[in-house]
Amino acid sequence: MDDYKKWLMQMQRLCSVKEYCIYDINEKLKKSPLNEEDRKNIIDDLIKQNYINEQRYVQAFIHDKLYLSKWGLTKIKFSLKQKNINAELYKEIINEIEEEKYVQSFISLAKSKWKNLKESDPYVRKQKLIRYLMGRGIEYDIAEKIQRLLE
């Protein structure tokens, strides 16, 4: 079996287990002995066979990062941008997220952090919580709203 078929089958197996975007598959294929044209052809084949579907990938990525990994939308957008995902694919999905549900998904995380803060000055404590939430990729106004809900 030649390298092309071997790598195509390997990528098909990979994509049948988990969602991948074009960028991820291309990064894996760069480690192969295949030339640029073969890598491009494998990606084209995977798209034609529906092993790779960017829309499906974006939906799964946003859901998993938001609700399982507790990432904020800023961090999610940045990560998708790094993977060269078209902004049009994720803007619509992100706009459909209800703010109240978004805020609620971070309340338990914020409560846990709030309990662990040792700072006695309430202002400094609030700032540390907001900074922590922003580090998770949550927008400033949402982080502030979450902090106010904990008071």
**Domain segments of the chain: what residues?**
3-48, 54-95, 99-150
- pLDDT at 7 exceeding the cut of 80: yes
Q: Is the pTM of this model over 0.85?
A: yes
What per-residue string of b and e applies to 94-107 under the rule 16 or more CB within 10 Å gives b?
beeeeeeebbebbe
* Mean pLDDT, range 112-125, rounded to an integer: 91
Q: So what's the pLDDT on residue 3?
A: 87
- pLDDT at 1 exceeding the cut of 60: no
